[in-house]
Structure 1
Amino acid sequence: MTSQKWRKYLLWFANEHVEFRLPEIKSIASLFNINIRWIEKPNQHPYWVVELPSEKAARQIASRSVGLRSCMELWAQGKTEEELHKNVRSYPMELMKPYFKPELSFKIHVETFCNRQSQAEKVSKIESFSYLPLEGSVKLKNPDVCLQLLEYYGLDSNHIPEKPYKLFFGRWIADGQRDVITMLSLKTRKFIGNTSMDPQLSLYMANQALVQPGDLVLDPFVGTGSLLVAASHFGGYVLGSDIDFLMLHGKTRPTRIQPKKERDKDESICSNMLQYGKGSQYLDVIVADASLPLWRPSFKLDCIITDPPYGIREATERIGTTKNYQISNHHLEGHIPSKVEYGLHQIYQDLFQFAAQHLKMGGRLVCWIPVVRRDYSEDRLPMHPCFQLVANCEQVLTKFTSRRLLTLEKLHEPQEKYTGSDVNSLMGDFRAKFFQYGEEQRKKRKLRKMLATQAYRQREEKEANCRAQLEDRDSSSSER
């Protein structure tokens, strides 16, 4: 049934994390060595029309993408129903006929974007394709052939047009991996923390890092291990490190609201991996300071995915002290080192230098950076001479701040130490500006509340004065 000739396919996306679509699809195409021909330049619409060399390529993309809802072989498209049916009739019958055989069951599925339709309306649309020479039996569950009608009503749910802007018809090939987001949901995960990464974003990161079976993946700021779960889902062998001893040992306060103030004894990153059946791919996590050398120079990784702390909900710390003292041998064994602030500029300088040293050639570093939106410009992004920037996506956090997911690919080995001067200019004072902005917003809210209270009191006084004047007038009239 498949042909090696290039054919048109429709990629149908979920309407969220729009900026992440293109980097994810390009990464998956790179992973499977798929050449994609873009019929239309990718845009904000939830559909892309592309040409692919084979049906196998379409299935490979769908087998990894978490932003993709479904993929179909595109037979026709149009701006009206009449135009769509005209184009369906003109589509080469020799390309459709292999799927209309008597022994093949089928169904026609109707899906709309930004609109709802009754079952009767859907049945009417299905019956409009009665001219197709479908000879098999109808089977609504798991048919041999699924034909799809997709109707696009735009992005504005407050102003839905009567007729769709675009209609597409073709043969369904495969669904994306949206069900994995639900499977890895934080709501049902055993061990989570205040900053556990959303499953969808974690899977985006794993895809952009090109994680594949057998890869060695590290998260040097592992936290509760959400990124390890995502990497292991795609076959990676995972390990992590973090300076927070209590977090790695499940001794922090529970994140979920519950009567008890302590976590269960089996809450850990390892228990999460076992929960999803990935225990064999879990190597270990260790308590370590990211600013201090830990691994042998010959130690190599396939990719690094991480989300360093920003100093907002999680502290940025490294081992150090402002005091000058020496620990006696008697107390050395049970000594817990003191910590000092670990500035954002230093965190990323050390991270980039570590990645340059320990990533294999062609390996990827995928990490988040926090930015003040009004200060951002692409030429101020942190860079390293050993890497090239592959992707740069924004997730808006507030009107004032956002974080950007950077994907960098190693091109050559380091020749000299990285100074990290670019990092200082963009992120060095992020924490101070974040709290400064928060304080400014609190003052504005307080001022608005005060002005609203004053206006309310003035209205009350005015109404009271009016009532008093009316009462005086009434009493004067009665005396007369």
Structure 2
Amino acid sequence: MALPGTVNRYLLLMAQEHLEFRLPSPFWILSIPSEDIARNLMKRTVCAKSIFELWGHGKSPEELYSSLKNYPVDKMVPFLHSDSTYKIKIHTFNKTLTQEEKVKRIDALEFLPFEGKVNLKKPQHIFSILEDYGLDPNCIPENPHNIYFGRWIADGQRELIESYSVKKRHFIGNTSMDAGLSFIMANHGKVKENDIVFDPFVGTGGLLIASAHFGAYVYGTDIDYNTVHGLGKASRKNQKWRGPDENIRANLRQYGLEKYYLDVLVSDASKPSWRKGTYFDAVITDPPYGIRESTRRTGSQKEIPKGIEKCPESHVPVSLSYHLSDMFFDLLNFAAETLVLGGRLVYWLPVYTPEYTEEMVPWHPCLKLISNCEQKLSSHTSRRLITMEKVKEFEGSTSTDSAKLCILNVVHDPQLVETEHAEPVDAETRLSDLSICQFWYPQWVLEPISCGCQGRTVP
């Protein structure tokens, strides 16, 4: 099990949350061009705990030791010389070891050329032994399925989930997206510094916060006047009405991100009032499904002549129900028209699970499907995180007609849209996602570890 000396191999330790979004193994072996790229990877992900430079691995201690002995000594020496300090940590998945067992495993590594001094408080280098005992907590094997040894490189951004938690946020709503999902969506959208990110169903602006954290300028619209202006009843427990400063801008100010705030407007997503042209690097949104937030658009049941309707500033237009297929047609068409070439559309699509097929995912001739990930909501409903990339310039009515034909097949359960008593989803239990290398870095080789479980194949 020797490691090729010409390949930089790293071990990614994943957070075990919402496994339906990825292969369930907590350990992933990656081939990455350089350590700097590995560090940059960990600066973005909220789904991984740590990454290690992999020195050796095996299915038994003997295989691990053999693998370590075959690792190039010249790659070890810079971190083991006499002027350095180090410590060795033990990490086990699905099993707890006694202190005596940990010491025994560390002592067994005495054949490695450690010449530096041990420093448990502030070491220059940290090495880890990682043992995988499978996924079943009710059937823990005596010996691990896989054992790894490596040098710690960097930790992920898991702390962002807590620091940006909805519970601590100044302005929230009934359907505010939790922090972990917001950062995942920003990563799927390849959001970077100085991008312009738009959310046409902005709500309380949770998705804008994640994009602003990565240095993007954010913009949003919503049809709900009260939500945009922070008026009406509060969603927070033991608070009847929203305060005078509860709004999206105040949320960005709370996190020191106000400089990235462009504006938030009251606007109807079915009737975008934009000049023709490309404005946005990413459109990232969570459209309403009609459960806890209604699907609405402006309009009237009366037949009225077409044209620009002039209304006083204080006038609030009558709203109609907004069918899901119409909503997604408008969304894809808007993204195809306003995204820059290579820009991404990231959105949630609700589906009725028993009847769902991949052919039901809306598509557009100007947009390429990048990913389609499922989050289960109940036994018969789920929602899918869809990521699309603009690969072709918008061509007016031709693109619009083609998109209209293919969105008619969007399937949904009537109960998912109409009932007001659907099963609620706790924001803190929503999914996390791997998808790290596949969406916003070059597609490196990922090697899912064999752990006696079934999983999907990642290309």
TM superposition score category, shorter chain reference: 0.7 to 0.9
Query: Residue 268 of structure 1 aligns to which amino acid in structure 2?
Result: N
How far is 1:6 from its partner? Answer: 2.6
Give 1:296's match in structure 2, choosing from 267, 275, 278: 275
Q: Counterparts of 1:70 and 1:290 in 2: how far apart (Å)? A: 40
Alpha-carbon separation, structure 1, partners of 2:237 and 2:166: 14
**Corresponding residue to 1:363 among 330, 339, 343:** 343
Aligned counterparts, 1:78-227, within 5 A: 78-227=58-207
Aligned mate of 2:254, from 248, 269, 275: 275
- Could you tell me how far 1:435 is from its partner in structure 2? 5.6
Equivalent position amino acid for 1:352 in 2? L
Amino acid at match of 1:273: L
Which residue in the other structure is 1:29 paired with?
Answer: none
Give the aligned partner of residue 427 of structure 2. none
Which among 245, 250, 265 is matched to residue 286 of structure 1? 265
* Structure 1 position 133, deviation (Å): 2.4
Aligned-residue sequence identity (percent) comes to 45
CA contact (8 A) 1:389 1:409 kept: yes
Q: Secondary structure at the match of 1:151?
A: strand
What residue number does 1:249 align with?
A: 229
Deviation string 1:281-316 (CA, Å, 9 cap, x unpaired) is 111111100011311112411010001000111010
SS in 2 for 1:298: coil
> Residue in 1 aligned with 2:404?
420
Which secondary structure state, in structure 1, belongs to the residue aligned with residue 314 of structure 2? coil
Q: With CA pairs under 8 Å and 6+ residues apart, which has the higher RCO, 1 or 2?
A: 2
User: 2:360 is matched with which residue?
Assistant: 380
Moved more, 89-98 or 212-221: 89-98
Q: Does 1:430 align with 2:413?
A: yes
Judged with a 3 Å threshold, the aligned counterparts in structure 2 of structure 1 residues 240 and 436 are, in CA distance, closer, same or farther, namely: closer
Aligned to 2:53: 73
CA displacement, residues 5-25 of structure 1 (integer Å, 9 cap, x when unaligned): 53111111111233545xxxx
Q: Is 2:7 the partner of 1:6? A: yes
User: Could you tell me whether the CA contact under 8 Å between 2:381 and 2:413 is conserved in 1?
Assistant: no
Match for 1:95: what amino acid?
K
Aligned residues of 1:5 and 1:54 also touching (Cα < 8 A)? no
Please, what TM-score do these two structures have when normalized by structure 2? 0.85
SS of structure 2 residue aligned to 1:322: coil
**Using a 3 Å threshold, how does the CA distance of structure 1 residues 181 and 437 change in structure 2: closer, same or farther?**
closer
CA displacement at 1:323 relative to structure 2: 3.8
Query: Which residue type is aligned with residue 47 of structure 2?
Result: G
Aligned residues: 412
Structure showing greater radius of gyration is 1
- 1:442-480 deviation digits (Å, cap 9, x = unpaired): xxxxxxxxxxxxxxxxxxxxxxxxxxxxxxxxxxxxxxx
Say whether the 8 Å CA contact 1:382–1:420 is kept in structure 2: no
Would you say the 8 A contact 1:375–1:426 is kept in 2?
no
- Could you tell me which residue of structure 2 aligns to residue 16 of structure 1? 17
The answer for unaligned runs of 5 or more in structure 2 is 424-459
2:387 and 2:243 mapped to 1: Cα distance?
Answer: 36
The two structures have a TM-score, normalised by structure 1, of 0.81
Name 2:374's counterpart in structure 1.
394
Conserved in 2, the CA contact under 8 Å of 1:362 and 1:410?
yes
Residues of 1 paired with 2:422 and 2:231: CA distance? Answer: 32
Mean Cα deviation higher: 110-119 or 192-201: 110-119
SS in 2 for 1:98: helix
Alignment-mate amino acid for residue 382 of structure 2? S
Separation in structure 2 between the aligned mates of residue 338 and residue 197 of structure 1, nearest angstrom = 28
Give the partner amino acid of 1:426. Answer: V
Cα RMSD, aligned residues only:
2.3
Measure how far apart 1:433 and its partner are: 5.5
